[in-house]
Amino acid sequence: MATYVYRCADCGDFELTRPLGEAGPSERCPACAEPGRRVWTAPRLADNGVRTRAAAAEERSAHAPTVTSGPPPRPGTRAPGDPRHARLPRS
């Protein structure tokens, strides 16, 4: 299935879902039943519930981006360890 866009002279654009290749040059407007001419757009094939991992990750990062608390550590410096390690016996 694909979503096709039609334009009604009175109501503006409306969308219809049709099987691929079965979209006619004009369809009746759902609001006023006047014929609307097809508007040529790229077919929206990804709206059928099947999402790629990359698209899902991209959407997640838009809603909940990874937030950092500071700049990355400078090269050569060690990240602070657990403070309890200082109390461990030394050999």
Binding site for Zn ion (CB under 5 A): 8, 10-11, 29, 31-32, 34
Which residue, 23 or 36, has its beta carbon nearer to Zn ion? 36
Least distance from Zn ion to the Cβ atom of residue 15, Å: 13
Nearer to Zn ion among residue 20 and residue 32 (C-beta): 32
State the Cα angle at 44 between 40 and 50, rounded to 5°: 170
Closer to Zn ion by Cβ: residue 26 or 61 = 26
Give the DSSP letter of residue 52: -
